[in-house]
Amino acid sequence: MRSICPRPGGCGFRWTKDLPGVTKGGPAGRITGARLVKQAGAWHIVFRTERQVPAPVRHSGPQVGIDRGINLALALSDGTPREHGPWLTCGEKEHLRRLEKKSARQRAARTPGRPTSKRLTRTYDQIAKARATAKRRAVDWQHKTTTELAGTFGVVVVEDLKITNMGRSATGTVERPGRNVRQKAGLNRAISGEAWGRTVTLLEYKTRDRGGLVVKVPAPGTSQTCHRCGHRDPASRDGTRFSCADPRCGWTGHADTNAAINIRNAAGTVVSGRGDLGAARSAKRQPPRAA
């Protein structure tokens, strides 16, 4: 909810979303608190509500494995991907690039130890506004996509990725400098832009509310192993194409789809799970199966 008057005291604000149980149909609820938040130059009121909800019925939907990637946002084991376009248009990207170059020039002209100038502060605010636009579009897509997935599938299997470790810098040290630093920096930005952790966080509470389950399985080897014959060879994957190196198999297809099937088949080696306990036990008991 965007606030019109951020000063202390009474102020008006514009409703931008209904409050569950308060401003729309469903179980009656009440507002238990609120806080004022400033994001990218705009003020927002965030309300906390309380309402009674019935216990979820166990979800009877199928099980699916999901591989999170860069070229393909979400690859599902049933072969149906979930993709999105760029968060910023070409014009918006160019505008952001110009603002970042402008801020660099203004920082270079700033006298060390002097307060930040109003012009530089204004440039920073414009950069923050552009980045906030991209984030809002990303979160909107993630909410819509995870809602659809939680409503369709009873058990969602994902990799237990250590995203913080994956995003570490490759610059190294003076004695041992890193390799392909620029390429690694670009990969880190792409991983950060996809916000893989937020996708799983949204899936966890949405599937739990619908009686489903999110299962995390070990990540190593899912992208290098053929889901059909189980042969593991790093040479089998070439970009987005997977071609099994075992001549007796020779399966070929999209690499991310192959990884998603391996993730689904690894549900018997659960690292952790959130949701319906009965579904968790069923997922643990399920043996690996080929597509």
* Catalytic residue list: 67, 159, 256
Coil, strand or helix at 243: strand
Alpha carbon 191 to chain centroid, angstroms: 9
Amino acid at the residue 207: T
CA dihedral 108, 112, 113, 117 (to 10 degrees): -20
Distance between CA 50 and CA 116 in Å, rounded? 43
Q: CB within 8 A of 268, min separation 6: which ones? A: 283, 284, 285, 286, 287, 288
- Give the pair of three-digit tokens for residue 163: 């995203």
Q: Quick check: 224 and 234 in contact, CB under 8 A?
A: yes
In degrees, to the nearest 5, what angle opens at C-alpha 106 toward C-alphas 102 and 109?
A: 145
User: Could you tell me the two tokens for 211?
Assistant: 């009686």
C-beta separation of 2 from 43 below 8 A: yes
